[in-house]
Structure 1
Amino acid sequence: MDGLYEQFRIALHQVWQRRWLAMAVAWCVAFAGWVAIALLPNSYEAKAKLFVAFDNMVPTAAAASQNPQNDIMRLKQTLTSNENLTRVVRRTDLNKLVTSDAALGGVVAGLRQRIAVVAQPDSLFEITATSSFAGLSNAENARTSAAIVQQLVELVTSGQLAGDPQRTQQSLTFLDEELRRREQQLQEAEQRRMEFEQRYMGMLPGTGTVADRMAAARTELAQLEQTIVAARSAVNAMRGQLAATPATVPIPGAENAYAGTASGQLAGLEVQLSQYLGRGFTEQHPDVISLRSQIARLGPQAAQERSRGSAAGNGIPNPSHVSLRAMMSEREAQLAAAESRRAQLQADLAQLGQRDSAQPGAAAEQARLTRDYDVLRQQYDRLLADREQLRLRSDMQTQASAMVVRVVEAPRAPSGPTSPNRPLFLTIVLVLAIGAGIAAAFLKGQLQTTFPTANRLASVTGLPVLGAVGEVVGRAERTRRRQRLVWLVGSGGALAASYAALMAAEMLQRGPVA
């Protein structure tokens, strides 16, 4: 603790020994800072708060396109348009700064940077304008800030926001022209697609590209192959059943007469053969071979009996035989149709393969045509939707919607500049100046090799210090030092008085604006 106290005394002694350097640095820093603050232009800000309500008279789904937030955003953009800002400049003191069209554009651009429109909850939004134009006095800047906000409020409340109907009509005209151009391109692309499909794709099933249709044809061909194999198996099996089924059955009461005929014997042998085959006998079985030989021998005799009509009197047509015959005819017809379709698909695929070999870029051309058509179609649909939405919103705004605007807080001329905060800046500069003077004196003391205390000398040299001789000051020296102290106090007082004078001048400067 003693060491810290001694270090503080040493630092204070170093600063005091160089007090005139500290005072000079403080005056230089304060003067430079205060001059810089004096050169800063005053900025005056005025604001107004508005309540905006949109009374929509069409509570349907069509009114959903009219979003209040979108309308507020539209008000923001329209409020700061060139035409509206030009009107504001002409009706305020800013017109004094306009000497030419180029100067008008510069004033309008600067005014746009100084206007802020902020949306707030509950359908409120705040209009703020800042005026700090170099060609106007402080009082004129204060009046101009309030006048700018007042003009903007009048534009909103009177419903004279310029540019919105014109921009809406221009947008509709542009969209109509784009739709006509895209419609013509879409028709040309569709015509090219139709011509290509007529050349290459009319012969194949399915939809899509050439590759898709060829794949569909191959799939259908594979299914037909399976269908043909199954149909052939069914027809062969049905032929065997038909051969084992007698064409007629005996008439009740005439069994004995029918049994003695060749047709009756043949029918019995065929039934017996069917039984053997059903039991698993093969064609090499002796009983099957014997029955086959007997059937072959009795076949011509049974045919002669049927031709003479001998069997007609001894039997009637077998219903099972007739049903099997009809089913077999149907299966044979299905088989023939499947084989015909297979042959047609094979011929079409072969023909398309020849065309593809002759024109290898057909698939790429078809893909390009489809891609171009899809892109044009998407663009056309999007433009059409945008046009209808814009037209519907315009109709809602002009016919079925009313905007209610009320001024919640009217603009007022500011009583003082919003920025810069000169009293705060003047105080900060004074504190920095005093700190800079003390720091300069302390740094100079650190650079010079002095020994303010005996302990400091002993710690630096490493030698014992036997004693210290105090300074003897005479009467003349004390008088001179007292006079210099008065000068130092006067210099510090002058610095404080300058600060007080600047603060008073700042307060007086704000008075005429209010």
Structure 2
Amino acid sequence: MEELLTQIFGYLRGMWRFRWWGLAFTWLVGVIGGFIVYAMPDRYESTARIFVDTQSVLRPLMSGLAVQPNIDQQVAILSRTLITRPNVEKLITMADLDLRARTPQQREALIAGLTNGLQIRSTGRDNLFTLAYRDDHPEQAQRTVQALVSLFVESGLVGKQQDSSSARRFIDEQITNYEQKLAEAENRLKDFRLRNMALLGDGGRDYVSQIAEATTRLTDAELELKEAENSRNSIEHQLTAENPMLTPDSPNPASVPLPEIDGRIDTLKKTLDGLLLRYTNEHPDVVGTRRVIAELEAQKKKDIESMRGTAGSQPGVPNANPVFQQLKIALSEAEARAASLRARVAELNSRLAHLRSQAELLPKIEVEQTQLNRDYEIHKRNYESLVQRRESASMSVEMSAQGGITEFRVIDPPSLPTLPAAPNRLLLMPLAGLVALLAGGALTFLLAKLRPAFVDARGLREVTGLPVLGAVSMLPDPSGARAERRGLLAFGGGVASFAAAVGAMTLLLKWLQG
């Protein structure tokens, strides 16, 4: 620490030797700096404030129906990307700045100056932005900020429209592609179903359902065939027991069976039993039912007598038994029905055998059908989703055009500055004085290094590396002390006058700025 202090004191003593040079250089740099600060051109700043309202009433109402992008993020990105070369060139035309640029070099310099000078400052919340620009002329600064405000609003609206148009165009292209894919998938599915209609069946029934249905129909047909054969056998048994010709001991007409009339009579008798459980014998329904039964029995008797008369009136033909004739007719009908059912059973057996013979093709067909259905469902789902998104995008465009999701409000219009915003001479003038002082100190340090001197024996010993036997001190006389004091006063006065000059210039500039 002691060595460091000794070294610092050594530097200061060396610099003290050239203090007048440093003071003169300080005055020179200070005068030049003051002149530069005073001669700096005034810069006028025009500002405007814009509020971007993104809290539209339509946003919560249209939630889930229309596409709602992150408006706050879009506005923030717009504020950071607005100052680009195309926008700056457009702004030059809007603000009539191109009159100041007559050559390509001047135009490039103007574009670079605007790019660096235009400012869009955000408060960080509430979407409040401040647009500012500085120019040598206040009217020009105001026109430039006005053009920047217009460009800011137009870029926000045009950007949203371009994004919506691009999104709709892309969605329309995708819908067209998926329409073709969906049509191709439908055609493949149609061709597959036509090729395998026998196994797939109609109505969407699968192979197992067809087998089960064919088996059920075969079982029902076999049961009906068995019933028909039993009925036929019963008629044959009755026919063998009946005498083809009438004999004196033939049954009375009432006992001769007529299937049609007997069935109606049996039905009416059952109905009559039900009516008697609820009504009396004098009830109109009971009386009417009994009358109809009596009419049917009379009709039966009349028919049997007619058949007997017809059989007996034929010459050379003995009286034929009508019951036998009826049984023969019933036997013929039973034989025909049994033959029809046998044909049906044979056909169902053939179909069932054909279905069972194609059982080995079933897994392959089912896999192919599953793949076709899956491709078709995927294309259909994507197509419907794209159509829904297109409608949502169209609704968003309409909502943005009519209701306005984002609204740009100019809170403070571009101002016409009356006082310069730069340079800050009240700050630059003291700063120039400080720089002049530092420059004077640097000059004395440089001269002390260029023309070094030894102020003590230790420094001499360190530089030469030789032992120093002693040092002779100088005794000051009264005249020398007075001269030294006058020098100190003069130097202090020079430094104080320099500080006073800097202060006076600062006060003068403040007075001039009003």
Query: Structure 2 length normalisation: TM-score?
Result: 0.46
How does the TM-score come out when normalised to structure 1? Answer: 0.46
